[in-house]
Amino acid sequence: MKLIRLVSSDSGGLAVFDNHFNSIINIKPKSKIALDTCVLDITQKLIKIRSGVNDEVRYQISSVGGEHGDQRSLSIQNYNTNNIDLFLQDIENKLNANLMYLLPGGGFEQKTLGLEWFVDRYSAINDGKLVIGYNIAPFQDYMGDDFTTDFTEPTDFWYGGTNTAFLEKETIANSHYYSISKKATSDPDTVFSIRSLVEWSRGGANFRVGRMLLADNANPDITKNGFTMRIEDEDGQWVFGVRINRKNSPYQVSPDGITFTDVDDENGDPCNVLNAGGVADQTGDVVEIVVDEQDINLVIYRENKTPVVVDSGKNYNYSSSYKGVISFIGAKANCSISQINYSISLRSFDDRSDYPNGTANLPSVSNYLDVHTRLTNTTPPHPIFKESLNNFYLPADVMKFLGFGQLRYPPSGNSSIDYPRYVANQPLLLGALSDNFIVQLNNIQLKSYDGDTLQDNGQRRSILSLIPDDDSDNQTLYNANERLFLDIDNLQDLNLNRISVSILDDNYEVVRLNNKSSLSVIIKDENE
């Protein structure tokens, strides 16, 4: 019986125990081998985000708004294997939270409409590497037949539930749009609603009604006329909304669906509904709920008027999921709406870097642009897909930690890319990411098989043992209480002056060591 101790080659590096011996080690036919002890000091990547040091987020997406994120915004925290997903989510959230829609001094950053940053840890189409980028999802009237037909099915984009029997959708001639209202036979005093079943964008989110038909003083009680549009959180709670009552009455906002406050314009005068003549009203008011640098706002566009912006006082909570809701208050003759545009989130996509190739269920870019050329009120901005000025930057140690080989994309100036994809140079390796470590012999053949990579005739691997990782720290200590001896596949004497062992993770990648480590094996003859 032989006890052989192996040590790692240096104080760090890969967990490969490749040792040479001055004398020959004779292994007789049909011998057996077992792992006895193992002491590993596994490297675990760690990054410390410190205030004013490495907490910046910076990027540019267009020539209009300039550089976004010129501020300290990453959460101050230490990140490693155990909370790496939290770190990636924080980066994604902060990239989206810095998107500017309302420009200082007036005007709008069109590029942010429908734009959503993503951070994908593993991108299949990029060889498993981490990818940071953004998509611009179609900002379209999802009431069309491509997405929903009658609001009755939980798979519809807009879902009416039990309200379906009281609402109707009507085709608008020579257009991509539909109008929606109560049915003529529905109770004029009852509120009926439809809800989006698709999550609102986590970036440049926008929820817009482009055309509306409202009666002029049809009902003296404004609370029983018109419609509301609002955003709800994942618990179905009202976050922020607006009530549009009737022509010549003021727009009203609410933080809870109970208290409604009249909206004033920039001069302190009532912001009333000016034009609401229906689908053919080329000067009709446009109203939207939109996110600007994490703030949820209302924007009202009226012909020949300065857009009115109302800050809801609510911030977008990126840990929540938001959805749009439209509620019809007034009777069919007094209220109908169309051109309902809604920015969707692509968070549910398995590989967001594959957009738009993997999105056959979404409208094409060409159709999308065609739709928006039909908006005749030119004041409201619409999304744009192409822009020459793109750049991206995170602090040097953050980029290195994530596996990127350069600190800025591009190194200088700006890039001309429709959908930027900033791909890491190597997969994100954080050290100990396995529940078990695989001890593999490199130059001694065992009769071992691995079902995870099983081929037609079985995949042989010289696996000596599995070592559980308790995740308590970077130290892994293993001492076999009962040695499991495995057959060495040698029918003749095997004379070695070198033995090589590797420690692998669940993905068969060699783990990295912090400090010099060691292990021991026992070899015994057939009759011992």
Map out the domains of the chain as residue ranges: 2-44+431-524, 47-136+388-423, 139-345
Give tens-digit pLDDT for 432-485. Answer: 445 678 999 999 999 888 876 544 445 778 999 998 865 455 677 888 888 999
**Mean pLDDT of the region 147-173:** 80
Residue 442 has what pLDDT?
93
**Mean pLDDT of the region 112-132:** 92
Residue 362 has what pLDDT?
59
User: In this predicted model, which residue has the larger pLDDT, 71 or 60?
Assistant: 60
Q: 275 falls in which pLDDT band (50, 70, 90)?
A: very high
Give tens-digit pLDDT for 78-95. Answer: 988 778 999 999 999 999
Distance from first CA to last CA of the chain, Å, rounded?
A: 7
**Mean pLDDT of the region 134-159:** 74
Q: 10 falls in which pLDDT band (50, 70, 90)?
A: low
pLDDT of 396 > 80? The answer is: yes
If you average pLDDT over every residue of the chain, what do you get? 85
pLDDT of 217 > 90? The answer is: no
Task: Indicate if 139-345 has the same CATH topology as 2-44+431-524.
Answer: yes
Residue pair 198/347 in contact by the 8 Å Cβ criterion: no
Distant-in-sequence, close-in-space partners of 74: CB < 8 Å, separation ≥ 6: 49, 54, 55, 56, 57, 90, 91, 94, 398
pLDDT of 148 > 70? The answer is: no
pLDDT of 430 > 80? The answer is: no
CA distance 142 to 414: 34
Residue 321 has what pLDDT?
94
- Judged by DSSP in three states, 315 sits in strand
pLDDT of 118 > 80? The answer is: yes
Q: 347 falls in which pLDDT band (50, 70, 90)?
A: confident
Residue 433 has what pLDDT?
45
Length of the chain: 528
Cα-to-chain-centroid distance, residue 25: 55
CA distance 417 to 391: 10
- Exposed (0-12), middle (13-18) or buried (19+): which is 499, by Cβ within 10 Å? buried
pLDDT of 143 > 90? The answer is: no
Question: In the chain, pLDDT over 70 holds for what percent of residues?
Answer: 87
**Mean pLDDT of the region 413-430:** 85
User: In this predicted model, which residue has the larger pLDDT, 355 or 7?
Assistant: 7
Residue 224 has what pLDDT?
80
Residue 454 has what pLDDT?
42
**For the ranges 82-91, 157-166, 225-234, 297-306, which has the lowest average pLDDT?**
157-166
**Mean pLDDT of the region 326-344:** 90
pLDDT of 103 > 50? The answer is: yes
> Any idea which architecture 139-345 has in CATH?
Sandwich (2.60)
Q: 157 falls in which pLDDT band (50, 70, 90)?
A: confident
Residue 374 has what pLDDT?
53
- Rounded to whole angstroms, what are the CA distances from 322 to 139, 196, 207, 232, 446? 16, 9, 11, 6, 56
Question: In the chain, pLDDT over 90 holds for what percent of residues?
Answer: 48
Q: Which residue type sits at 438?
A: I
- Exposed (0-12), middle (13-18) or buried (19+): which is 526, by Cβ within 10 Å? exposed
pLDDT of 253 > 50? The answer is: yes
Residue 215 has what pLDDT?
85
pLDDT of 366 > 70? The answer is: no
Residue 292 has what pLDDT?
95
CATH number belonging to domain 2-44+431-524: 2.60.120.1100
- Provide long-range contacts, Cβ within 8 A and 24+ apart, for 489-495: 489/445, 489/446, 489/447, 490/27, 490/29, 490/30, 490/31, 490/445, 491/29, 491/30, 492/29, 493/26, 493/27, 493/28, 493/29, 494/26, 494/27, 494/28, 494/31, 494/444, 495/24, 495/25, 495/26, 495/27
Residue 273 has what pLDDT?
95
